[in-house]
Amino acid sequence: MTKLHVVSVQIAGEEYTIRTQASPEYTRDCAAHVDRTINEIMSAGANIQAHKAGILAALAVTDQLFETRREVADLRAQIERFATQLASEVEGHLGATDLAARS
């Protein structure tokens, strides 16, 4: 059974107690990222309500997630192309070596 950690964090001036399977350090890092995002939004907007800043922060974090997923997919495709090209070149060199050895 996975151990649950109980972690207290501060987000937008409010304290939250979170029960999670993730490490306390990871949970605090996640909460700090959300807190920074909310603070950035609140400092940029005049008199924005905290719950609206939370929604905008969720959208910003989701945008970061989706952009990272796209970048990972692009990198995987690029690696696959490079691997295919490299395999083809290796096979070409091995084929040339086999023909030379038979002569």
Helices and strands (H and E) in the chain: how many = 2, 2
84-100 mean pLDDT = 81
The predicted structure's pLDDT at residue 56 = 95
CB atoms within 10 A of CB 38: 23
User: Does pLDDT of 97 surpass 80?
Assistant: no
The rounded distance, in Å, linking the Cα atoms of 80 and 57 is 34
User: Does pLDDT of 103 surpass 70?
Assistant: no
User: CA-based Rg of the chain, rounded to a whole angstrom?
Assistant: 25
Place of tokens 């905290």: 50
> Could you tell me the pTM of the whole model?
0.74
Residue 59's alpha-carbon distances to 1, 8, 19, 31, 63, in angstroms, are 33, 24, 23, 15, 6
The rounded distance, in Å, linking the Cα atoms of 88 and 84 is 6
What are 16's strand-pairing partners? 9
Q: What is the largest CA-CA distance in the chain?
A: 83
